[in-house]
Amino acid sequence: MSFHYGEEQITFERVKRLHAKGKVLIKVHPDCRVIVSSPEDACNEEVLSAVKKRGRWIHEQLRDFRKKLEFISPRRYVSGESHYYLGKQYVLKVVETSEQVESVKLLRGKLEVSVRTKGADRVRDLLTEWYKSRAKEIFYRRLDALLEQALWVEVRPSLRILTMQTQWGSCSPKGRITLNPQLVKAPRECIDYVILHELCHIAEHNHSERFYRLMSQVMPKWERTKESLDGMANLIFSA
């Protein structure tokens, strides 16, 4: 669906919330997607009217996110670049080696990638695999630790690591949790927030009042952590 604000046409995706009542919820993502969550029984005209009333706010959010995107340079995967891991920046050091084994290591504050032949594609591939490996280890460990808080979860949920373009995580209706390996670039508290968010969905699959009450019980200041994670989104997803 779309509407005009001034000379700009703003397109948004409507997501229906099952068994939900109340107002329309609008979210502008750092990648400039606009997602509108509304009760299932609300007609398109009602949703469009609600969105238009927030037109100025949506326009300003899009303007701010677009400005941030302008200053993000595409990765070249060469020595001297900064790359994130667990919320900290590490300087990339690409080393050409004649040894058979290519590797990625954290050494003295640097992210060192050893390759037989220097090339952006190979360095990127090695880093991607390293991030996935680290993500798998850290996500499983944090899930086990956070399950002690999620007293409503009776059976340990299955966990899948899957690269997604714009999502940190998701929870299927059957309780399977999917996490984006890119999340391992964020601070640990942000990783905990996403895992707890998905664990809360096991009890309440929609973003209902009950869901947010549960979220506040297990992470009282989750809004601040979410804001911090959203602020890093452009940097992380561009890496």
Give the CATH number, domain containing residue 189.
3.30.2010.10
Domains held by the chain: number: 2
Beta carbons within 10 angstroms of residue 176's beta carbon: 14
Helix H or strand E encompassing 66: helix 55-70
Residues 66-73: contacts with CB within 8 Å, 24+ apart?
66/32, 68/30, 68/234, 69/32, 69/234, 72/234, 72/235, 72/238
Written as tens digits, the pLDDT of the chain (239 aa) is 889 888 788 989 888 776 656 788 998 887 778 889 888 888 899 999 999 999 999 999 988 877 776 556 677 899 998 899 999 989 999 999 887 789 999 988 899 999 998 899 999 999 999 999 999 999 999 999 999 999 999 999 999 999 887 789 999 989 999 999 999 999 999 999 999 999 999 999 888 889 999 999 999 999 999 988 887 887 777 65
Range of the domain at 128: 82-237
Same domain, 40 and 60: yes
Residue 77 lies inside a defined structural domain of this protein: no
Question: Which pTM does this prediction carry?
Answer: 0.72
Cα 47 to Cα 45: distance, rounded to the nearest angstrom: 5
Residues 34, 106, single domain; the answer is no
Strand partners, 178: 160, 170
> Does 155 share its domain with 210?
yes
The answer to whether residues 182 and 206 belong to one domain is yes
